Amino acid sequence: MEHLLEQGLGTLFAFAAGILACKELIEYIFTKNLPWLSRLARNGVRRIKRVFRNPSKEDGRFLALNFSGHPVLPGQQKAIQNSMGWPKLEVIDVPMGTIAEDENFLKIAILKVDGIDLLPDEWQTFSLVVIPSGYSPLWSALLAEMHGRLGHFPDVVRIRPAPQGEKEKFKVAEILDLRDIRHKARTKR
């Protein structure tokens, strides 16, 4: 009788330990690995979308990522396209909204860049130029996040007020090649 009681308690403890272990595993997966799981799901959806897109459209995409919060006007778009020497230009607006000073800018930068519909390998294969946010602390975090994904600094569009009388109020002043600026600055070490 005692032997059966001991065996029953052992089985009960093993069953309880198994349930507890499963609960902790599920909790670990969904709390510690949630960013990883969401990234996996998001990239899976993006890959499925790519299958149904026109493959000729995907070849040689030329992108302008607009973080400025202002629309890129046709004249500005044409100036960027001509300055970069690209045959076409696709503008992707990244809505920034209002950011509170007490928010974590790094988390916001990661969320905003994650929201851009590009797969990890596309960050390194498509040609792109960025139109920066006017708020420099946030732009610094965005630039660092993009540098990490690209493996280099992106080219940056500088926009300035247009002379009076022109149709568009702002025009493209120049394209800043941050990689070239960095390379030249390294010689001054």
Can you tell me the distance from the alpha carbon of 155 to that of 174, in angstroms, rounded to the nearest whole number?
10
Can you tell me the distance from the alpha carbon of 121 to that of 47, in angstroms, rounded to the nearest whole number?
11
Can you tell me the distance from the alpha carbon of 105 to that of 108, in angstroms, rounded to the nearest whole number?
5
What pLDDT is attached to residue 34? 62
**What is the mean pLDDT of the segment spanning 86-90?**
94
CA dihedral 97, 99, 105, 108 (to 10 degrees): -40
What mean pLDDT value characterizes the chain?
84
What are the extents of the domains in the chain? 59-186
What pLDDT is attached to residue 5? 55
Can you tell me the distance from the alpha carbon of 183 to that of 188, in angstroms, rounded to the nearest whole number?
10
Can you tell me the distance from the alpha carbon of 108 to that of 114, in angstroms, rounded to the nearest whole number?
10
**What is the mean pLDDT of the segment spanning 60-88?**
93
What pLDDT is attached to residue 175? 96
Confidence of residue 2 (pLDDT cuts 50, 70, 90): low
Candidate from 39-43, 71-75, 111-115, 149-153 with smallest mean pLDDT: 39-43
Whether pLDDT at 74 is above 90? yes
What pLDDT is attached to residue 100? 87
Q: Which residue has the higher pLDDT, 13 or 94?
A: 94
Confidence of residue 39 (pLDDT cuts 50, 70, 90): low
Whether pLDDT at 1 is above 60? no
Could you read off the pLDDT of 123-169 as tens digits, one per residue? 989 999 999 988 889 999 999 999 999 999 999 999 999 888 888 88
Torsion sign, CA atoms 109, 115, 116, 120: positive
Whether pLDDT at 114 is above 70? yes
